[in-house]
Amino acid sequence: MSDEHQTWAPRDPSAASASPGGDEGAQGAQSKAPGRKGRTKRPRRTGWRRLFPTWRMVLGSVLVAGLLLVGGFFAGYQLIGIPAANAGADAQSNVYFYKDGTVLARDGEVNREKVKLSQVPSDVRRAVLAAEDRDFYNQPAVDVRAMFRAGWNTVTGKGKQGGSTITQQYVKNYYLGQERTVVRKAKEFFIAIKLNREQSKDQILEGYLNTSYFGRNAYGIQAAAQAYYGKNVEDLTTAEAAYLASLLNAPSAYDVVAHPDSKPAALSRWNYVLDGMVKESWLDSGERSTTEFPVPGEAKPSTGLSGQRGYLVQAVEQYLTGNGIIDEKTLATGGHRITTTLDKKKQDAFVAAVKNNVMKKRSGDREPDRYVRVGGASIVPETGEVVAMYGGIDYTQQYVNNATRRDYQVGSTFKPFVFTSAVANDSTTQDGRRITPETYYDGTNKRTVQGPQGSTGYDPANEDDVDYGQITVRTATDKSVNTVYAQMAQDVGPEKVKETAIALGIPKTTPDLTASPSIALGPATASVLDLTEAYATLANHGRHGPYTLVDKVTKDGTEIELPDRKTEQAVSREAADTTTALLRSVVEGGTGSAAQAAGRPAVGKTGTAEEDKAAWFAGYTPDLATVVAVMGQDPDSGTQTPLYGALGLDRVNGGGVPAETWAAYTEAALRSSPAQEFDLRTAPGSDEPQEPGEDGTDTVTGPDTPDGSPSSTSPSPPSDTTTPSAPTAPASSAPPGNDNGTGTTGGATGDTDGGGTTGDTGDGGMGTGTEGGADGDNGDGDTGALGGSFIEGVRGARDPGE
């Protein structure tokens, strides 16, 4: 039978045992897991082997970690960008210097001065690299090995160590912050890598040098150089550079002045830096062996805005912005190095003069002493440089700068401008006499000012209501006679007087600078600095240029152009010099005699504000013009207050404390300079004696006529001014005198001698009839000693004989 016709039957189980493999094959088949053909089951790990991962687990973990690390790197690189600088990274102070380069003040909270890398000497750069990152120029932005090494040392207790490159440190300083967190460190890592691709190594090093902290509140290498050695970074020695570089590791701890006990550690770090420079071939070993440790200077107090500094900085800022040199917003960004014209020695002298002559006289027991304020300024006439200024006792206590404020009347310090205008305009009196120092005016108290049309209605009072009668302009200046100068202003023309004052340096916007006869008495509220500029013009023979407070300005090493100082002849030299000659007698024997203590040729003028709210002295030598003002201000309300009783005085007037302070300052400020004489070219005829009405057309002015209009006398003999409502004395056989007498019995030959020479029975001075008192009736005309002004029996001032 063929196979295909065979019938199927179940396999005999016994046949299986006869198959190849026998029982073993059967057992092998049974050991296979259902559904998993061809794979055997691994034996389970038992005992201690269960504690260790297999090589497969290790490999897998490494691969996963690697993938995560790579993914994290790319994710971090993509997600973390270079941020904007942190709030304090660019913050800088404006640094103000005296003209000699001494630091005057800093106006910001952050002591930082940015410098360009080109300004930093190579030894300074290399010292920093030797201290912080010797491979900076050759390595990537981050040093992974150093980071791991630092982390390992920290974990193992070997101390916290820095593993950051200079690039990373710069990122921390400029973009991030000083907090120690994993997040900050991660950001630092990625930003450093990106920054290294966008900036050059030099740019990064420059940024690092300008943002690093060196202790003593100094941020940046320039501020550090000043803080520790009082010099600019350009002037640092290699030894000093190495010390500053060592401070980066521990700024406060390594300050050997503040912490003497840390000197061994600081010295070790300093040696480490120098040795590193030698190792990198940046420093010769011979030079290294002779290098001595450069002990830094004492830490200086903060050069903030206390004391005079705030006033000076404020004035300089106003000068910069007011003259369009720097706008206010730009100045506020900081980073400017501003060299002023201020002279430190003269500034110190001004402060000392005020302290000794004003502040030491104050007493806590006197209420008026609380009101005392002082302002002062000093200018070199030829250059216009402000060399000293006094703004107040302390900027942190009294914010308003008394040297620049414009709210106190200048008083009689304005009178020289009236006379200058008279000479400059070749002005004459109402009766046609040319105005010179020897021109006579009527100094009667409350005399009404007369104009071309008669009375102006303005009748100023003299100080203490003193009557002076007929006196020369020179005497009227010495004694600061208001009635004379009010009339002179009218004679010159108030508008011309105003124009002259502006030309000399008084700002045209000065409050109360009004073209009226009262302008002569100084109601204008020019500042101390304004007045100093005007007086400096007189000292400079009438040539005016605006004052200057700034000598040089730079930012980031770039010098900012300053405007040219333009000068012009404000008034003729003759007008200015004749005024100087006139003011000389004020110091030699007038109200400003206290200024003689300066010990050199000087001129000046005193002034008092209305109600004694301020007292002034303005004066000059050939080489220095200075103004001092003592002002009264209630510290609580801020209102102007009279100075009666202040400083232990009944009154504070310009010839007292202000003139004394002026003299003390001027003497100290010019002590090292030889005294100079005034080189004057006065107007022709300015010294020629005149007589009242010598041209025969003298005008009798004032309330002598019922309507107040002037009345003329006959050409010969010359007339004298009569006193209103005064009885007429009996006629005398003696010829009329021309001194201070106003009657017809003033002495026989009193034309050039104060009281006449033979006026034994005549009135001395202005005595009228028997009301002149005993001295008036029997004035000592022989010597002229008592030929003064007598009204109602009261002696007045006399005009000294020529």
609 occurs within a structural domain: yes
Greater pLDDT, 746 or 310 = 310
Model confidence at 49, pLDDT cuts 50, 70, 90, reads low
Q: Is residue 546 a part of any domain in this protein?
A: no
Query: Which of 229, 261, 290 lies at the terminal end of a domain, its last residue?
Result: 290
Within-domain flag for 200: yes
Is residue 176 classed exposed, middle or buried when 0-12, 13-18 and 19+ CB atoms within 10 A define those classes? buried
Q: What is the CA radius of gyration of the chain?
A: 46
pLDDT number for residue 67? 64
Inside any domain, residue 178: yes
Provide the domain count of the chain: 3
Identify whether residues 105 and 174 lie together within a single domain: yes
CATH code: domain of residue 634: 3.30.450.330
Q: Tell me if 419 sits within 8 A of 477, measured CB to CB.
A: yes
Structural domain includes residue 157: yes
Tokens of 498: 């105003």
CA 512 to chain centre: 27
Pair (313, 281) in one structural domain: no
Q: Percentage of the chain surpassing pLDDT 90?
A: 59
**Segment 197-212, tens digit of pLDDT:** 888 999 999 999 999 9
Amino acid 157: pLDDT = 52
- Rounded to the nearest 10°, the torsion over CA 440, 444, 445, 448 is -90
Whether the pLDDT of residue 474 is over 70: the answer is yes
* Euclidean distance between the first and the last CA atom of the chain, given in angstroms as a whole number: 181
The last residue of a domain, from among 669, 686, 707 = 669
For residue 489, the SS3 value is: helix
Where do the DSSP E strands lie in 475-549? 543-544
Question: In which domain, by residue range, is 750 found?
Answer: 722-802
Residues 267 and 322 in one domain: no
The CATH number assigned to the domain holding 233 equals 1.10.3810.10
Closest C-alpha among 670, 101, 678, 629 to residue 346: 670
Residues 114 and 249 grouped into a single domain: yes
pLDDT in tens, 68-94: 655 555 555 555 666 766 766 777 889
Tokens linked to 342: 């201020």
Q: Strand 95-97 to strand 336-340: parallel, antiparallel, or no bridges (unpaired)?
A: parallel
Is the predicted pLDDT of residue 797 greater than 50, yes or no? no
User: Residue 235 half-sphere exposure, CB side, CA atoms within 13 Å?
Assistant: 9
Same domain, 365 and 392: yes
Report pLDDT digits (tens) over 683-708: 999 999 988 864 333 443 333 333 33
pLDDT band at 187 (very low <50, low <70, confident <90, very high): confident
Bigger pLDDT: 776 or 213?
213
Residue 19 pLDDT exceeds 80: no
**By three-state DSSP, how is residue 605 classified?**
strand
Structure tokens at 339: 């060299």
Secondary structure (DSSP) of 134-201: TTTTTS-S--HHHHHHHHHHHHTTS-------HHHHHHHHHTS-S---HHHHHHHHHHHHHHHHHS-H
Ranges 27-31, 496-500, 723-727: which has the least confidence: 723-727
How much is the mean pLDDT over the chain?
A: 80
- Contact (Cβ atoms closer than 8 angstroms) between residue 476 and residue 437: no
Residue 34, token pair as written in the block = 């259902």
From CA 497, how far away is CA 112, in angstroms rounded? Answer: 50
- Which positions ≥6 away from 355 have C-beta within 8 Å? none
Whether 742 and 659 map to the same domain: the answer is no
Query: How, if at all, do strands 95-97 and 624-632 pair?
Result: unpaired
Rounded to 5 degrees, φ, ψ at 529 are -65, -40
- Whether residue 337 is contained in a domain is answered as no
Please check whether residues 109 and 239 belong to one and the same domain. yes
Same domain, 798 and 653: no
Torsional sign, CA 358, 360, 366, 369: positive
- Tokens, residue 310: 């705030």
| Any domain includes 456 | no
Alpha carbons 743 and 133: distance in angstroms, whole number: 100
pLDDT of residue 705: 35
Give the C-alpha distances (Å, rounded to integers) separating 75 from 82, 175, 400. Answer: 15, 20, 58
Phi, psi of 576 (to 5 degrees): -65, -45
Helix (H) or strand (E) holding 72: helix 55-79
- CA–CA separation, 24 and 176 (whole Å): 74
Residue 57, burial from CB neighbour count under 10 angstroms (0-12, 13-18, 19+)? exposed
Q: What is the spatial distance between Cα 145 and Cα 142, in angstroms, rounded to a whole number?
A: 9
Tell me, yes or no, whether 646 and 763 share the same domain: no
Dump pLDDT digits (tens) for 491-536.
999 999 999 999 999 999 999 999 999 999 999 999 999 999 999 9
The set of residues, in sequence order, having a beta carbon less than 8 Å from that of 317 and lying 6+ positions away, is 107, 331
In a domain, residue 74? The reply is no
110 lies in the same domain as 246: yes
pLDDT in tens, 646-670: 999 999 999 999 999 999 999 999 9
Q: Across 132-146, 485-499, 775-789, which has the greatest mean pLDDT?
A: 485-499
Shared domain for 323 and 269, answered yes or no, is no
Same domain? 103 vs 226: yes
